[in-house]
Amino acid sequence: MKALWYRQTLSPVVAVVDVGTTKVCTLIGKKGGEGVEILGVGLSSSQGIRKGKVVDVARATRAIWESFALAREVAGEDPEMIYASIAGDFMSSFNLENEILLSKSGREVNRRDLEKVVEGARNSLKLSESRIVHIIPQEYQLDDQKGIADPRGMIGSKLKVKVHVVAAQENHYHNFLKSFSDAGLEVRKIVFQPLASAVAVLSPMEKEIGTALVDIGGGTTDLAIFYGGSVRFSQVLPIGGEHITSDLAIGLRTNKEEAERIKVSQGSVFSRHIRQDEMLEVKDLGLSSLQTVSRKYACEIIEARAKEILLMIGRGIRDSGFFHSLRGGIVLTGGSSLLDGLSELFSSVSNFPIRIGYPESKNFVGNIQTLQNPMFAAACGLLRQAVNDFFDQETLVSLEPPNAGKRILGKIKDFFMME
């Protein structure tokens, strides 16, 4: 009863930190009407992070703290809990099953049975050098009846569950958390980045009928496939928009900042649409003078790497086993999804319907103009999940309520053609 009163009378201020290869984004917010009220936004350039991995704890700590401090200054309030997103090529995921006996004669399934069958799946895992981040029920089977979303109240003798497991290599998980603790921040919950993005950009219907979410970030590309209302497959691909930038820097003999500017303002994945006489002025490596280069040549570099990224995504979708179940098509999100022509190229080689996933503005109130961009999908989804978790009574039971008097601040085509 005490926990229920707490849930009904308080609307905690929460912070979420989305740690990427190119940026760290902190959002602070709370429940606001039917949505989430954005109180503060903080952005900093990522440091000490490569392909999602923390490679320099001190620099990563500084980037996280800068982002958090900016958001807190705007919000004017200390958050009572922190969620953080995690992704990188040190993450792995797989599916497994577990079964328990309820009663030989059969009885009603209760909540404790669901916890027991899922916990049995967890106990069956032998991951000596990995940390489990999520165990997500996909569906249940009660005796011979399959595809059950929630078997509570139903009668049977055997209960089976299929779960999706997401794990992180222990050393990288430790370095990730240490970056927060060294910044004086205590993280309540870690969420796999593509699952957070899905909260922001996928509808319940898309998750039900079969949809692939592709979050193209700076250092990695996250793939998550949903079907029947649950995640069925996830994978982190060690390639992203930063690789395009690096290719451009090398090909144009300039630095990464100038290459990024060219990619965003003049880049396209359709080099054949660029005239031969179109030229660009690009700063040289020393930034001391300008050089003239062919825009068509720059776009050929971009196109080559973009096709490689799409090819890897296609392989991932093939490997998932759900290639023929994607009636909802593919949703592209993340900052690099806005590269000119990328969604059209993807559609032309995959024969799937493609759309760009933006955070839904109807789910937020307050300072939302800055966040209307796919690059903020993970952060927005993470904030919605943090608020929803608190107001979900069953989730609350598993969380220790925060102490109101205690602050958490301290010190390509073959792979896509239909068969």
How many domains does the chain fold into? 2
Question: 84, 164, 155: which is closest to 132 by C-alpha?
Answer: 164
pLDDT in tens, the chain (419 residues): 333 333 444 678 999 999 998 899 999 999 887 789 999 999 999 999 988 899 999 999 999 999 999 999 999 999 999 999 999 989 999 999 999 999 988 999 999 999 999 999 999 888 888 999 999 999 999 999 999 999 999 999 999 999 999 999 999 999 999 999 999 999 999 999 999 999 999 999 999 999 999 999 998 999 999 999 999 999 999 999 999 999 999 999 999 999 999 999 999 999 999 999 999 999 888 777 889 999 999 999 999 999 999 999 999 999 999 999 999 999 999 999 999 999 999 988 888 999 999 998 778 877 677 788 999 999 999 999 999 887 775 443 333 333 433 334 443 444 444 34
Tokens of 173: 């998980």
Has residue 22 been placed in a domain? Answer: no
Helix axes 256-266, 241-252, angle to 10 degrees: 110
Residue type, 320: S
Has residue 151 been placed in a domain? Answer: yes
Cα-based distances in Å from 53 to 169, 171, 222, 358: 10, 10, 14, 26
pLDDT at 410: 41
Domain end, chosen from 260, 282, 299, is at 299
**DSSP state string for 323-360:** GGG-TT-EEEESGGGGSTTHHHHHHHHH-S-EEE----
Which is it for the CA torsion 182, 82, 360, 196, positive or negative? Answer: positive
CA angle 97, 52, 334 (to 5 degrees): 85
Taking the C-alpha atoms of residue 343 and residue 349, their distance in angstroms, rounded to an integer, is: 10
CATH number for position 151: 3.30.1490.110
Contact 311, 214 (CB under 8 A): no
Domain end, chosen from 233, 264, 299, is at 299
| Phi–psi pair at 55, nearest 5 degrees | -110, -10
Has residue 13 been placed in a domain? Answer: no
The two beta strands, 354-356 and 330-333, are parallel
Residue with tokens 């060690």: 238
Has residue 254 been placed in a domain? Answer: yes
- The DSSP symbol for 180 reads H
Has residue 232 been placed in a domain? Answer: no
Taking the C-alpha atoms of residue 408 and residue 245, their distance in angstroms, rounded to an integer, is: 38
Domain end, chosen from 116, 141, 168, is at 168
CATH number for position 280: 3.90.640.10
pLDDT tens, position by position, 193-210: 999 999 999 999 999 999
Within 13 Å of residue 312, how many CA atoms lie on the same side as its CB? 18
| Phi–psi pair at 92, nearest 5 degrees | -140, 160
Residue with tokens 């006489």: 277
Question: 101, 100, 99, 96: which is closest to 126 by C-alpha?
Answer: 96
Taking the C-alpha atoms of residue 156 and residue 141, their distance in angstroms, rounded to an integer, is: 10
- Cβ of 205: how many Cβ atoms within 10 Å? 11
Contact 266, 294 (CB under 8 A): no
Has residue 148 been placed in a domain? Answer: yes
Residue with tokens 């925060």: 402
Question: 339, 378, 342, 388: which is closest to 358 by C-alpha?
Answer: 378
Contact 83, 14 (CB under 8 A): yes
Q: Distance between the two ends of the chain, CA-based, in angstroms?
A: 56
Cα-based distances in Å from 244 to 40, 219, 351, 378: 31, 10, 24, 21
Q: Range of 264's domain?
A: 242-299
pLDDT tens, position by position, 281-315: 998 887 778 899 999 999 999 999 999 999 999 99
- Cβ of 221: how many Cβ atoms within 10 Å? 28
| Phi–psi pair at 332, nearest 5 degrees | -95, 135
35's enclosing H/E stretch is strand 35-45
Contact 218, 335 (CB under 8 A): yes
Has residue 70 been placed in a domain? Answer: no
- The DSSP symbol for 99 reads E
Residue type, 20: G
Residue 29 CB partners (closer than 8 Å, separation 6+): 13, 14, 36, 37, 38, 39, 40, 364, 366, 383, 387
Has residue 142 been placed in a domain? Answer: yes
Residue 1 CB partners (closer than 8 Å, separation 6+): none
